[in-house]
Structure 1
Amino acid sequence: MVVQHNMQAANANRMLGITSGAQAKSTEKLSSGYKINRAADDAAGLTISEKMRKQIRGLDKASSNAQDGVSSVQTAEGALTEVHSMLQRMNELAVQSSNGTNSSDDRQAIQDEVDQLTTEIDRVAETTKFNEIYLLKGDDSSTKNVYMNAHDAGLKGTLADGAKSATFTMDELKTGDSVKIAGKQYTIGASKADVGAALDKKLLIVPTTAGEYTSGATFSVNNETYTITTKADKSIEKITNSAGQTAYEDGGAIKWASTVPTGKNAITDVKKLVNEGDTVKVDDTTMKVMTAADVTAGVDSDDSSIITKAQAEKMIKEELTAANNIGTTDKKATVAAGVTADGKTTYAITKGYATVANTLSFNLHVGADADMTNKITVDIDTMNSSNLGIKGINVKDATGTAATYAIDAIADAVAKVSSQRSALGAVQNRLEHTIDNLDNISENTSSAESRIRDTDMAKEMVNYSKNNILAQAGQSMLAQANQSNQGVLSLLQ
């Protein structure tokens, strides 16, 4: 028997120490709720867990970023809702002012309301902001030129609109044609020679085949009907009136007789029957022969609805210019003189523009990583009256023509606001899906991180209970081992 080395007690003490250490770790895990409280607990698990925590917190903040983005988009879109309402009211006023029953005072009252609405649209664009960011006034650091949409001024033809220029093409105006310009109907008149030539061409079998006339063709001059009779070669043999008399020349004068006197020649040129001031009609075409003075002036002195082709083209150019200059605050639109080819007249339009602040653009970071694909760009154009093309809009002219053109300009503005609202709505829908996806990823990543780092309380409680029992047993065994050497004392007595 030895007393220097009590190996039973030493062994019991060592095992008790191990059990106490395990019991302490179980207590720590149960009290903290974490399975990994220090790197030594699970070095690999700690690394994986911290990486997941970084992703989770990034995802949660990205979701918050997206929610802030939704709020900013809703702020801008809500303001544009009011802009839409004001534009719709302006459209009502323009339509009202276009009506001919309004007096000048009526139109002035309408103009006053239009001016107020325009000012309010500018104020909304200037003051709408989210978190001190102005959403509808654009990016003040740079500017761009906004070219106005081209318009046809209500003329009958085809408009081809481009980025900076446009063309308007219509049928070539001919003598006797009717054309509506600025809401008023006009007839193309011409000189005696021009009307006679037009009449001559209409009586041909084929307008492009010279000298071949349609036998029995009729036309009228000042309501007197004339009939042409042709020869075998389709040339004119004679021209007779409703009484059956034949036209002939006598000393430069035109006379009519049942039989052409001997030595006189029947008239075979229809142009000779046309004089200044006459009204000539063939089929459904009516032509007014204007005096030389009226041709120079461009307008018939007896009937202002009868104008020359040159005057009509001048008026068309002026109306196209007026219609295309609405909203052009920095550069006016210009319209070149019409160019005629192949029966069509084309007017080249150089579009005008307004200079406005550039598009506001900002990025929403909606991911946990630095990848640029995690950014959603929001673009919002300047939504003031200049960019919408309604700045300085006029609806108070005496005829209502300007108000009529303003309707088109307001329609363009409504379309532009609609486009911007649609773009914002699309971004909002995208952000809502983004938020749902981020929340889903965050939830599932948190679940995975929990399995690595969190304490399984039920399992750990089993370990704790086991270690508690082992500790008690160890303490008891240590006490017994310490008592085993008491037998040595009996040998010393």
Structure 2
Amino acid sequence: MVVQHNMQAANANRMLNVTTSAQSKSTEKLSSGYKINRAADDAAGLTISEKMRKQIKGLDRASTNAQDGVSSVQTAEGALTEVHSMLQRMNELATQAANGTNSKDSDRQAIQDEIDQLTTEIDRVSETTKFNETYLLKGDAGTKTINMKAHDAGLKGTLTDNGDGTATFVMDALKAGDKVSIGGKTYTIGSDEAKVDAWFADNKITDTANAQITVNEKTYTYYGETAATGTTGKINKGWYAAQPTAPTDKDDETTPIYADVNAIKDAVKAGATAKTGGKTITALNDAKDNLTGDAKADGISDTDATVISKNKAYELASKELLKANQIGDTENSAKVGVGDVDTSVDLTNGTGTFKIQTGSAKVANTLSFSLHVGSDADMTNKIQVNIDSMDSASLGIKGINVKDDSGNAATYAIDAISDAISKVSSQRSSLGAVQNRLEHTINNLDNVVENTTTAESRIRDTDMAEEMVNYSKNNILAQAGQSMLAQANQSNQGVLSLLQ
């Protein structure tokens, strides 16, 4: 029996210390809720957990970024909704102004006043719409030049955009007798004298009995000569509007309206319209300038201003094409020519093919910003948002005018407004597509965050039920250890009985 070393007590004390340490760790885990409270608890688990935490927090922020992006896109798109409404009203007003029942002064002026106000409001919306101090519809710093869409002025033909600020318009082929609408007026393509002669020859119109031809809506028939007999007079051969009857006096004779086919040709060449067998020709009769009276052809019939030459039709068409393409042209770049844009169309060079240099405008650069929607520094985590300037110049309607006397300006304005509506629609569609993409991005980010958080929880969070079992176990062991240590300390008390 020894007293220097109480090994039972030492052993009980050592085990009690182990239990107390384990009990302390369990208490820490239960009170903090974390299984890893220091690196020593699980060095590898801590590394993995912190990496996951970095991803989770980054993705949480990325989801918020995307939500902010949705808000900014919705702000811009909402403003463009009103721009759309104003453009639709402008289209309605332009259509009204194009109608010929308007008073030349007061009605179209009232319409123009409202259009001016709407144009100003479109500019104001573009200038003031912003999100978090970023102006969304006024573009970015700097300027660029944009080309307007080419217009065909309502002429029949084929318009081709060349993609370089020019376009080519090929007018439908014109033939003598064709009706063509230019600038809201209908013209007939007249024929020169040679074509009239050819038309008579092609249709075999000769001084033949019962031959017929219609001149200016009156039909003439050729009748042969009938000599005077008895009490009736002579019927002269020629072209009559109605069947001739012999005069009652044998010394009298009839007078045909046209003595022969050459006389009818001369009548047609004087500017009349002739028809036969479903075929029509209208003569030009162009020998003087209708404005000055000079003996010089001007491509317009001297007897009927609605009859013009083919080349005159090309000249008039080029002027209307220029008017149509000058709408929204703030840089005065619109031109129309033949062969090239610098060779204007006149009575000598028209071919029916027009080269158009479209109007242009100097506008602000496109606003571009990117939304970071990922937790890594990967450029694929950027979603680019591009918003064009949406002022009247960018939409091609700056300075739009509908108050001319003819209503043609309003007619051409309809096309320009239609292009503006199309541009706003395109921008809204682009923003809507970005918004839909962002909503999918948000859903994906939130899903990744949820699953990554679950994985991180398994590494770092305390399993309360399991740890409570350990705590209870260690609590019992601690109490048992204390009891055993007390018993071990009592075991050496027997030495005192030997010393008595």
Instruction: Identify if the C-alpha distance between structure 1 residues 215 and 88 changes in structure 2 by more than 3 Å, giving closer, same or farther.
Output: farther
Separation in structure 1 between the aligned mates of residue 30 and residue 209 of structure 2, nearest angstrom:
118
Q: 1:286 to 1:200 in 2, by over 3 A?
A: closer
1:410 and 2:417 correspond: yes
Distance 1:227 1:23, change over 3 A: farther
Q: Taking structure 1 as reference, are residues 421 and 483 closer, same or farther at Cα in structure 2, changes over 3 Å only?
A: same
2:280 match: 285
Structure 1 residues 400 and 202 mapped into 2: Cα distance closer, same or farther (>3 Å)?
farther
Alpha carbons 2:284, 2:300 under 8 Å: kept:
no
The count of residues paired between Structure 1 and Structure 2 equals 456
Instruction: Find out whether 1:112 has 2:113 as its counterpart.
Output: yes
**Distance of 2:455 and 2:286 partners within structure 1:** 97
Q: 1:251 maps to which residue? A: none
Displacement, 1:357? 1.2
Hey, what does 1:458 align to over in structure 2? 465
Write out per-residue CA displacement over residues 175-211 of structure 1, whole angstroms, 9 at most, x where no aligned residue.
32211111111112244344434x2574379xxxxxx
Look up the match of 2:140.
Answer: 139
Say which of 262, 270, 294 aligns to 1:276. Answer: 270
- CA-CA distance at 1:358 after TM superposition: 1.6
Which residue does 2:373 correspond to in 1? 366
Could you say if the C-alpha distance between residues 477 and 291 of structure 1 is closer, same or farther in structure 2, counting changes exceeding 3 Å? closer
Partner residue, 1:29: 29
Q: Secondary structure at the match of 1:293?
A: coil
SS of equivalent to 1:136: coil
Deviation at 1:453, TM superposition (A): 0.3
Question: By how many angstroms is 1:37 displaced?
Answer: 0.2
More strand by share: 1
Amino acid in structure 2 at the alignment position of 1:77: E
Matched, 1:72 2:72: yes
Correspondence for 2:361 among 334, 354, 372? 354
Task: Decide whether aligned partners of structure 1 residues 480 and 82 sit closer, same or farther in structure 2, where only a CA change above 3 A counts.
Answer: same
Superposition pairs for residues 300-311 of structure 1, below 5 Å? 300-311=301-312
Measure, in 1, the Cα distance between the counterparts of 2:158 and 2:212: 35
Equivalence for 1:377: 384
Checking the alignment, whether the CA contact within 8 Å between 1:127 and 1:134 is kept in structure 2 is yes
Gaps of at least 5 residues in structure 1 are 206-213, 229-238, 246-255, 261-265
Give 1:387 deviation, angstroms: 1.0
Instruction: Please show how residues 316-335 of structure 1 align to structure 2 within 5 Å.
Output: 316-335=317-336
Deviations 1:367-400 (A, max 9, x none): 1111111111111111111111100001101111
Match of 1:154 in 2: 154
Partner of 1:448: 455
Q: Secondary structure at the match of 1:297?
A: coil
Check whether the contact 1:170–1:345 (CA below 8 A) recurs between aligned residues: yes
User: Retained in 1: the 8 A contact 2:86–2:118?
Assistant: yes
Match of 2:228 in 1: none
The Cα of 1:305 is off from its aligned counterpart by 1.3
| CA distance 1:417–1:202, shift in 2 (3 Å) | farther
Distance 1:172 1:467, change over 3 A: same
Shift of 1:215: 12
1:116 aligned partner, one-letter code: Q
* 1:272-298 CA distance string (max 9 Å, x none): 775434443343424134141156133
Residue 387 of structure 1 aligns to which amino acid in structure 2? S
8 Å CA contact 2:62, 2:373 repeated in 1: yes
Give 2:229's aligned residue: none
Inter-partner Cα distance in structure 1 for 2:326 and 2:201: 40
State yes or no: 1:470 paired with 2:464: no
- SS at 2:297's partner residue? helix
Give the Cα–Cα distance (whole angstroms) in 2 for the partners of residues 485 and 201 of structure 1.
Answer: 152
Decide whether aligned partners of structure 1 residues 383 and 215 sit closer, same or farther in structure 2, where only a CA change above 3 A counts: farther
Distance 1:201 1:180 in 2: 29
Q: Work out the CA distance in 2 between the residues paired with 1:219 and 1:162.
A: 48
Structure 1 range deviating more: 390-399 or 309-318? 309-318
1:22-101 equivalent positions in 2, closer than 5 A: 22-101=22-101
8 A Cα contact 2:273 2:280, kept in partner? no
Q: Once the 2 structures are TM-superposed, how far is the Cα of residue 354 of structure 1 from its aligned partner?
A: 1.0
Residues in 2 aligned to 1:267 and 1:177: alpha-carbon distance in whole angstroms: 24
Matched-pair contact (CA < 8 Å) for 2:286–2:298: no
For the 8 Å contact 1:200–1:270, the answer to whether it is kept is no
Q: Is 1:324–1:352's contact at 8 Å kept on the other side of the alignment?
A: yes
Asked if 1:337 is matched to 2:344, the reply is no
- C-alpha spacing 1:180/1:471, structure 2 compared with 1 (3 Å): same
Question: Cα–Cα, structure 1 residues 148 and 202, in superposed 2: closer, same or farther, change >3 Å?
Answer: farther
1:83 is matched by which residue type in structure 2? V
SS at match of 1:169: strand
Give the 3 Å change call, closer, same or farther, for CA 273–244 of structure 1 in structure 2. Answer: farther
What is the alpha-carbon root mean square deviation over aligned residues?
A: 3.0
Aligned to 1:392: 399
Q: Name the SS of the counterpart of 2:417 in structure 1.
A: helix
Distance 1:92 1:464 in 2: 81
What TM-score, normalized by structure 1, do the two folds share?
Answer: 0.85
The secondary structure found in structure 2 opposite 1:391 is coil
Partner deviation per Cα, 1:30-72 (whole Å, 9 max, x = no partner)? 1111000000000010011001100100110000000000000
